[in-house]
Structure 1
């Protein structure tokens, strides 16, 4: 099987070179005349998509050089950047592990952030990684309000629900919080994780509390790519399972389309923020480049299925839309794509030169000391 990353890039290069002539659009106006997304914001989000794809590719290059240690990609899920754009940085986030787009886009909203470098420090297990100190590859940031999570089996759901309930509880007890009164919690996961008992118990707790008129301002986001590593999710399972939950307001969007995702996410967020009630945002996405860099997809997927997924690459689809809408030319977007690659490469070289943890003592240093006398006492 050929290098699928090369295939995705060649598809983009072909698009960049296509002779598509469209009149230039006014970037200050809404996309299509009725979207909440302007041309300027669309191009900002498209740049985020490019950056995240290059971070995924660089993660694999680092692994090949024995300088990086994590290759689960955000490829195919990059449009979660539009969810971040619709939220505020003061809305605490508990994120899925394919949330590169969300992380990079939220960093645009907070001055002084270095999301590319921070992600690369994490990929290289550098002790300078600001969120885990080289102990775990995770999306997390104190200034961005993103709580570091290992989200594989929805272990973050109970924490997210508890946090949502605590917002109103703290207000009633006059406990100051670093969030505005109308903040909401966002909690994202893949389709397979939503089958796990942890997710089911936590969402049930949220709905149970909300049913009793307790404020639970949480937006669950399902990034549905139809695969749980090598196991296929039954068609329409997520929609049928979650759209009919009493007390859970359900929204669905094409998670490959920046405009559709931004507009639908805006509606879901407005509902959750005003009603202070559990909300579910279902995004139909696609998984590209396998589950991780070590994944051999042909062991469980037909090459035709893989190529069909590649035909829905959100970078290709949104680049084509930008060109056809007259937001930019193919040549301009080609330059933006390469400039994004260069930014990632420069940051990667810098991150790889930073020190790593060198002993078990350094790794466990943040843990509370073991004190048998205190335990017995």
Structure 2
């Protein structure tokens, strides 16, 4: 097999009317001072060349086969061409280019699973644009799980979304569902399954020999002994006990309003929150520009910047590439470790 250092990371196109093309070009332009590993982007080369020209950036774009990417990375942005051409205006979302977004993700995942690429780094997509074109998945993570297929036991993979930064790592146990649906979706089984995946991948990919997990309560004050809801005692406490029985170090359920200050964060390696905003509000407050979205539980490494398409600033040249560059660095780190393991 090709050595990991020789295999490029594969960036997806993302929504071409969003800030993804700008961020990709900026990451390549800042590759040396940022110390980025080699990467290629699965996109329409002509579209990226037009974006670079519009900004007046000296960012040559070169269509390549995946194996050639590392050798030309220093002198040009390597682009694995799509079959679909892309015509998109910054800040103007349009379902007519949805096929190219999907093709980019499918191609990147296929190349990584074949061993040609080291990891997938996804640029932001607009779900409503894809929905208009008939996209049948709730989001990026669920689509990636579908592309992963089934494990050796014939079971579908259970993807887990982690938002990671040097200061904090959080995992929402329930993700893209309405807040009103969280209590019925939250079960002891799903918490235990999520906790096991997080602990395993903290060991195997992040190199933490004995991971420490903290579980947030669902209700204010973690239910206040049942006076503010029964879910904490009836659902989360049994999950904590089951994870401890597996030998995993777990604390909780803890009141979510006191879990994320600096002293509290020093006591755990990852926090499991019960719903989307309970996880994402603290990390976006603490590390908005540096946080990375990592999908755990899949047979390949996938990272992504922790922000959306930002249509409102697309085309203005002001988007910051910090989170994308952090995603690239983390993908390189995790993919190298997963091959070594």
- TM-score (normalizing by structure 1): 0.28
Give the strand-richer structure, 1 or 2.
Answer: 2
Which structure features the higher share of helix residues? 1
Give me the TM-score of the superposition, normalised by structure 2: 0.30
